[in-house]
Structure 1
Amino acid sequence: MPSGRYSFHDTHDDTPLGEERFSCAAGPSGWRYTAQTFAADGTTDGSVDLTLDSRARPMRLELRRHGWQVRGGALAGLTWVRTHVEDTDLTFTREGNEKAHAFTGRSPAFLLATARMLALAEGTSARVRVVSFTEPLLAPRTLDQGWTLEATEAHPTDSGLLTVRRFRVADLETGEEGLVHMAGDVVLSAPGVELEELETPPGAWI
C-alpha cells in the first residue's frame, strides 16, 4: 500500500500551492486512492477519495476543497453532483453529466487513473475526453486530452529494478502539454507536482 506526500507548485513561477498526503492500494476488483490536501501554510483544506473498478473506470469519486464538494462516478458516461457545505437548501447545488471517460484535476490520482484506463503500449497515443474539476472551487470543465507513452525505462534501486513510464499529456484545446513520470501506482513528477516522500514502494502496474 504506497503512501507518501506530493507537493504542488505554480508551473509558471514555482510558487508553492500546498501538498497532498496520500495512500493507495489495489483491491479485489480495482484500485482506491485516498488523500488529505493542505494549503501552503499547512492548514487542511480538502480531501480526495477515488475508487476505480477492474477496467479503471471511476466507480466513486469524492472531492472536498474549501467547503465545496463533488461526488460522482461512471454512469451514462460520467455523472456528478457539486455542492457547498453552506448550501443547506440545495439552491446552488448542480448535477452534471458528460459523455466522457475519466475525471481529472490537480490530484495525481487522476493521472494514474487515466493512464491505467488507456493501457497504452510504448510509442502509442490516444485521445480521451475528461471532466476536470478546477481549483479551488471544483468547477467542472470538459476537455480532450492527448496521451502518449513515450518510453518505459528500468532504473536500479536498492530494492531492485524500478520501471518508470514517461507520458506526454496535452490539452488538445489549448495545446499546453507536459511530461508525467510514473512508477507503478505512484506519480514521480508531473507539471506542478513533485513526489516529496514515499513511505512504501509503489504498487505493481496493472
Structure 2
Amino acid sequence: MPRGTYLHLSGEEPLEEHFECAPGPGGWRYVGERPDGARVDLTVDGRWRQIRVELATPSWLIRGGTAGHDLLWVRHPAAGDAAPDEHGVRAAGFLGDSPAFLVAVARWLRLEPGRDAPVRLVRIQGPSLAALTVDVRWHLAEIETHQTETVPLPVERHEITDLSTGETRTVHLAGDVVLAAPGIELTDLDSPPNLSP
C-alpha cells in the first residue's frame, strides 16, 4: 500500500498532500489530506469508474460518482443545514487538484502506447469546489522501463490536451502513483507503486 507525499506547487505557497492508496476487493481507493483542510477520498471499481468520490475544503463538500454514462454529484456548505445543490452531466469522471484523478482517468482509458482518446470530465477546483465540464484528449505517448533494485518500473508519459484551449500537459505515471505532473511533485513514497492495481 503506497503511502507518500505530493507537493502542490501551483498556489501561492507549496502545499503537501499526504496520501495512501491501494487496490481493494473490487477496485482501488485513494485517500489524501492537505494542511489547508482539503481532502479527497476516491474509490473506483474494477473497471476504474469513479463510483464514490468525496472532496472537501473547510467551507464546501462534494459527494458524487458515475451512474451509467452520467456523472452525478451534490455540493453543499460544509457547515449549516443548507440544501445541497444536485448536479448531473454526461461525463466519464472528475478531474481535481489531487493526482488521484490523473491515475483514475488514465487507468480507465487503458490506452496502448501511441493511442489517444477524447474524454469529457468535470474539473473541480478552488476552495469553493467549483465545477467546470471540460473536453480533453488523452494521449499515451510512450512507456519507458527503468531498472530498480527490485523489479523493472514501467513509466508512462501521458499528454493531456484541453480541446478548448489547445494547452497540453505532460504527466508521468508508474502504476497507481503520479511521478511528475505540472504543479505536482512526488516528494516521498514509502513503498513501490502498485503496478497491476
TM-score normalised by the shorter chain: which range applies? over 0.9
Q: Secondary structure at the match of 1:74?
A: strand
**Matched AA of 1:136:** P
Equivalent position of 1:60 in the other structure: 52
The answer to whether residue 114 in structure 2 is matched with residue 123 in structure 1 is yes
Q: 2:26 touches 2:46 (CA, 8 Å); kept in 1?
A: yes
Map 1:42-81 onto structure 2 (within 5 A): 45-76=37-68, 77-81=70-74
Q: Deviations over 1:57-110 (max 9, x none)?
A: 1110001112210000112510000011234132xx311100001111110000
Equivalent position of 2:123 in the other structure: 132
**Matched AA of 1:64:** A
Q: 1:23 touches 1:35 (CA, 8 Å); kept in 2?
A: yes
Q: Classify 1:178/1:89 alpha carbon distance in 2 versus 1 (closer, same or farther; 3 Å).
A: closer
- 2:82 paired residue among 77, 89, 97: 89
Map 1:49-198 onto structure 2 (within 5 A): 49-76=41-68, 77-90=70-83, 93-198=84-189
Q: Secondary structure at the match of 1:38?
A: coil
State TM-score, norm by structure 2. 0.95
Instruction: Mark the runs of 5 or more structure 2 residues left unpaired by the alignment.
Output: none
Instruction: Mark the runs of 5 or more structure 1 residues left unpaired by the alignment.
Output: 40-44
- 2:27 paired residue among 30, 37, 53: 30
**Matched AA of 1:81:** V
Q: Aligned partners of 1:85 and 1:72: how far apart in 2?
A: 15
The answer to whether residue 2 in structure 2 is matched with residue 2 in structure 1 is yes
The root-mean-square deviation of aligned C-alpha atoms, in Å, is 1.3
Give the 4+ runs in structure 1 shifted more than 6 A: none
Q: Aligned partners of 1:198 and 1:186: how far apart in 2?
A: 9
Q: Aligned partners of 1:28 and 1:67: how far apart in 2?
A: 33
Q: Aligned partners of 1:98 and 1:17: how far apart in 2?
A: 33
Q: Deviations over 1:25-46 (max 9, x none)?
A: 111111100111123xxxxx12
**Matched AA of 1:63:** L
State TM-score, norm by structure 1. 0.91
Equivalent position of 1:42 in the other structure: none
